[in-house]
Structure 1
């Protein structure tokens, strides 16, 4: 019925899901796909919560505001449409978060002189300083989160996730 290893390390939530869904008579229920998507979601949520609680809260940043500031740190200035795509949020969310980041003097917005419909967000020197101070702590958290995986396993997961990202246009 499914290809989970009976002696594998299924999480209790996966066992409960399998037990519940096994009673649903669908033509093609793919437990492996359910497991992959569910575990990606749980890792993403757990990572986000851990980093917000242990690293970002000290700087008064949410996960999304950090993501936006990180993109600005890397690229300097980005059109709001592209910033929204990169952060995986709407332009309205970008607008709200950049207002907050502007109040903290971490970035500023500027309307394009040639096309008033286009707005760019640019990191400030203060924003760069915050990122240069914050990022080593953030990176330490990244390393801790995957510390139970070998380097080869980390590379393998990254490669597989990149393929999922590319195939789905995320």
Structure 2
């Protein structure tokens, strides 16, 4: 066996740990109060920003399958936070649109979510935050891990 690249192991392990840690923290401290999972929040956030988005693009943005988007959309529709509409010109395309109720929840929830984001990186200087963000964007882009916003 070739020698292990310990630096690569450390980077990937730490990315995984921080992703799991922040997801758990946000679900526990903010999202659970609204009955939202991380992925359902992610979809609702995209809809809040984009208003109406094709299911395929929602899946790409969240890094999940179209069937996962469909399942989460079902749940969000039951809570009256969004609705689906088939494209009139191409019946194969479905759009998901945020409702006024969904928008209201995001307007209430997001300031608390953002406070959590700030807390998570509060031990880093602004320059360190910019550096880590740029480096992570590079890894995301080089590996085609979804949209770069």
TM over 0.5: yes
Over the aligned positions, Cα root-mean-square deviation in angstroms equals 0.7
Structure 1 residue 84, shift from structure 2 partner? 0.2
Q: What whole-Å deviation, never above 9, does each CA across 1:84-105 have from its counterpart, x for those lacking one?
A: 0000100000000001001111
Structure 1 residue 169, shift from structure 2 partner? 0.7
Q: 2:34 aligns with which of 56, 59, 68?
A: 59
Higher relative contact order (CA 8 A, sep 6+): 2
Structure 1 residue 28, shift from structure 2 partner? 3.9
**Equivalent residue for 2:92?**
117
Asked whether 1:29 is paired with 2:4, we answer yes
Give the length in aligned residue pairs: 145
Report the structure number with the largest CA radius of gyration. 1
TM normalised by structure 2 equals: 0.96
Q: 1:38 aligns with which of 13, 22, 25?
A: 13
**Equivalent residue for 2:70?**
95
Q: What whole-Å deviation, never above 9, does each CA across 1:120-162 have from its counterpart, x for those lacking one?
A: 0000111111000000000000001111111111010000001
The answer for unaligned runs of 5 or more in structure 2 is none
The answer for unaligned runs of 5 or more in structure 1 is 1-25
What CA distance in whole angstroms lies between the structure 1 residues aligned with 2:3 and 2:91?
50
Structure 1 residue runs of 4+, over 3 Å off?
none
Q: Secondary structure at the match of 1:100?
A: helix
What CA distance in whole angstroms lies between the structure 2 residues aligned with 1:158 and 1:129?
29
